[in-house]
Amino acid sequence: MADTAPSMKLTFEGAQKLLSAAIVKAREMKVPQCICIVDSGGHLLTMGRMDGAFALSIETALRKAKTAAAYGIPTGGISPALEIKLALGTDGQRINLLGGLPVIVDGHVIGAIGIGSGTGEQDREIAEAALGAIAGAKRFTF
Protein backbone atom coordinates (compact mmCIF):
# COMPACT_ATOMS: atom_id res chain seq x y z
CA MET A 1 0.00 0.00 0.00
CA ALA A 2 1.27 3.47 -0.91
CA ASP A 3 2.29 5.97 1.73
CA THR A 4 1.10 8.97 -0.31
CA ALA A 5 -1.67 9.80 -2.74
CA PRO A 6 -2.11 12.57 -5.29
CA SER A 7 -4.59 15.29 -4.45
CA MET A 8 -6.17 18.40 -5.93
CA LYS A 9 -6.99 21.69 -4.31
CA LEU A 10 -9.63 24.34 -4.92
CA THR A 11 -7.82 27.64 -5.32
CA PHE A 12 -9.04 31.04 -4.22
CA GLU A 13 -9.53 31.90 -7.89
CA GLY A 14 -11.68 28.80 -8.35
CA ALA A 15 -13.68 29.70 -5.26
CA GLN A 16 -14.24 33.19 -6.66
CA LYS A 17 -15.54 31.66 -9.92
CA LEU A 18 -18.03 29.57 -7.93
CA LEU A 19 -19.13 32.63 -5.97
CA SER A 20 -19.58 34.73 -9.11
CA ALA A 21 -21.54 32.00 -10.90
CA ALA A 22 -23.81 31.56 -7.88
CA ILE A 23 -24.48 35.30 -7.73
CA VAL A 24 -25.37 35.37 -11.44
CA LYS A 25 -27.85 32.50 -11.00
CA ALA A 26 -29.35 33.98 -7.81
CA ARG A 27 -29.90 37.31 -9.57
CA GLU A 28 -31.45 35.54 -12.54
CA MET A 29 -33.84 33.79 -10.14
CA LYS A 30 -34.39 37.03 -8.14
CA VAL A 31 -33.46 35.22 -4.91
CA PRO A 32 -30.76 37.04 -2.89
CA GLN A 33 -28.51 34.52 -1.19
CA CYS A 34 -25.75 33.91 1.31
CA ILE A 35 -23.02 31.91 -0.45
CA CYS A 36 -20.06 30.15 1.19
CA ILE A 37 -17.23 28.31 -0.54
CA VAL A 38 -14.92 26.02 1.47
CA ASP A 39 -11.88 23.90 0.71
CA SER A 40 -11.83 20.12 1.14
CA GLY A 41 -11.20 20.51 4.88
CA GLY A 42 -14.23 22.75 5.31
CA HIS A 43 -12.21 25.96 5.74
CA LEU A 44 -13.83 29.09 4.32
CA LEU A 45 -12.21 30.37 1.12
CA THR A 46 -14.71 33.08 0.20
CA MET A 47 -18.28 34.11 0.83
CA GLY A 48 -20.84 36.70 -0.06
CA ARG A 49 -24.14 37.94 1.28
CA MET A 50 -26.24 39.54 -1.41
CA ASP A 51 -28.36 42.58 -0.61
CA GLY A 52 -31.67 41.32 0.74
CA ALA A 53 -30.39 37.89 1.84
CA PHE A 54 -31.29 36.80 5.36
CA ALA A 55 -28.16 37.50 7.46
CA LEU A 56 -28.53 34.40 9.66
CA SER A 57 -28.36 32.27 6.51
CA ILE A 58 -24.60 32.89 6.48
CA GLU A 59 -24.31 30.24 9.20
CA THR A 60 -26.49 27.68 7.44
CA ALA A 61 -24.72 28.28 4.11
CA LEU A 62 -21.34 27.72 5.77
CA ARG A 63 -22.53 24.58 7.55
CA LYS A 64 -24.03 23.21 4.33
CA ALA A 65 -20.68 23.74 2.59
CA LYS A 66 -18.73 22.14 5.45
CA THR A 67 -21.05 19.14 5.50
CA ALA A 68 -20.86 18.64 1.72
CA ALA A 69 -17.05 18.85 1.84
CA ALA A 70 -16.78 16.44 4.78
CA TYR A 71 -19.00 13.74 3.31
CA GLY A 72 -18.51 14.35 -0.41
CA ILE A 73 -22.25 14.23 -1.04
CA PRO A 74 -25.01 16.81 -1.46
CA THR A 75 -26.67 17.95 1.73
CA GLY A 76 -30.31 17.10 2.19
CA GLY A 77 -29.77 13.46 1.26
CA ILE A 78 -28.37 12.14 4.52
CA SER A 79 -30.64 9.63 6.22
CA PRO A 80 -33.17 11.38 8.47
CA ALA A 81 -32.33 8.82 11.17
CA LEU A 82 -28.83 10.31 11.34
CA GLU A 83 -29.71 14.02 11.22
CA ILE A 84 -30.03 14.67 14.95
CA LYS A 85 -27.04 12.45 15.76
CA LEU A 86 -25.00 14.29 13.14
CA ALA A 87 -25.96 17.70 14.54
CA LEU A 88 -25.38 16.68 18.15
CA GLY A 89 -22.09 14.92 17.45
CA THR A 90 -20.69 18.00 15.70
CA ASP A 91 -22.16 20.70 17.95
CA GLY A 92 -24.38 21.75 15.05
CA GLN A 93 -21.50 22.11 12.59
CA ARG A 94 -22.95 19.51 10.20
CA ILE A 95 -26.47 19.92 8.87
CA ASN A 96 -28.68 18.14 6.37
CA LEU A 97 -30.50 21.04 4.72
CA LEU A 98 -30.69 21.30 0.92
CA GLY A 99 -28.18 23.65 -0.69
CA GLY A 100 -24.72 22.21 -0.03
CA LEU A 101 -22.82 20.51 -2.86
CA PRO A 102 -19.31 19.10 -2.94
CA VAL A 103 -16.95 20.22 -5.68
CA ILE A 104 -15.58 16.99 -7.11
CA VAL A 105 -12.99 16.97 -9.92
CA ASP A 106 -11.42 13.75 -11.22
CA GLY A 107 -12.85 11.88 -8.23
CA HIS A 108 -11.28 14.27 -5.70
CA VAL A 109 -13.42 16.33 -3.31
CA ILE A 110 -11.66 19.68 -3.59
CA GLY A 111 -14.19 21.81 -1.75
CA ALA A 112 -17.86 22.62 -1.50
CA ILE A 113 -20.43 25.34 -1.94
CA GLY A 114 -23.24 26.16 0.47
CA ILE A 115 -26.18 28.40 -0.37
CA GLY A 116 -28.77 29.75 2.04
CA SER A 117 -31.64 32.23 2.14
CA GLY A 118 -34.08 30.81 -0.41
CA THR A 119 -36.09 27.63 -0.26
CA GLY A 120 -34.03 24.46 -0.12
CA GLU A 121 -34.79 23.76 -3.77
CA GLN A 122 -33.71 27.28 -4.79
CA ASP A 123 -30.52 26.97 -2.75
CA ARG A 124 -29.68 23.65 -4.39
CA GLU A 125 -30.45 24.94 -7.90
CA ILE A 126 -28.09 27.88 -7.43
CA ALA A 127 -25.33 25.66 -6.02
CA GLU A 128 -25.68 23.28 -8.97
CA ALA A 129 -25.49 26.14 -11.47
CA ALA A 130 -22.32 27.44 -9.80
CA LEU A 131 -20.55 24.09 -10.30
CA GLY A 132 -20.55 24.82 -14.03
CA ALA A 133 -17.88 27.46 -13.40
CA ILE A 134 -15.26 24.81 -12.56
CA ALA A 135 -13.92 22.80 -15.50
CA GLY A 136 -14.48 19.08 -15.01
CA ALA A 137 -16.55 19.47 -11.83
CA LYS A 138 -19.05 16.69 -11.22
CA ARG A 139 -22.60 17.87 -11.85
CA PHE A 140 -25.60 16.68 -9.88
CA THR A 141 -29.13 16.11 -11.12
CA PHE A 142 -32.10 16.11 -8.81
Banded pLDDT at 68 (limits 50, 70, 90): very high
Average pLDDT, the chain: 96
Tell the burial category of 54 from Cβ atoms under 10 Å away from its Cβ (0-12, 13-18, 19+). Answer: middle
- φ, ψ of residue 36 to 5 degrees: the values are -125, 135
Q: Which pLDDT value is given to residue 84?
A: 86
Q: Which pLDDT value is given to residue 142?
A: 84
Q: Which pLDDT value is given to residue 82?
A: 87
Banded pLDDT at 78 (limits 50, 70, 90): confident
Q: Any idea where the domains of the chain sit in the sequence?
A: 12-131
Tell the burial category of 78 from Cβ atoms under 10 Å away from its Cβ (0-12, 13-18, 19+). Answer: middle
Question: What angle do helix axes 12-29 and 120-131 make, rounded to 10 degrees?
Answer: 130
> How crowded is residue 29: how many other Cβ atoms within 10 Å of its Cβ?
14
Query: CA dist 61 to 5, 48, 97, 106, 127, Å?
Result: 30, 10, 9, 25, 10
Q: Tell me, which fold does domain 12-131 have in CATH?
A: Beta-Lactamase (3.30.450)
Is the pTM of the predicted complex or chain greater than 0.85? yes
Q: Which pLDDT value is given to residue 20?
A: 98
Confidence check: pLDDT of 81 > 90? no
Confidence check: pLDDT of 83 > 90? no
Of residues 35, 33, 49, 59, the one with CA closest to residue 118: 33
- φ, ψ of residue 127 to 5 degrees: the values are -60, -45
pLDDT in tens, 88-131: 899 989 999 999 999 999 999 999 999 999 999 999 999 999 99
What is the three-class DSSP state of 137? strand
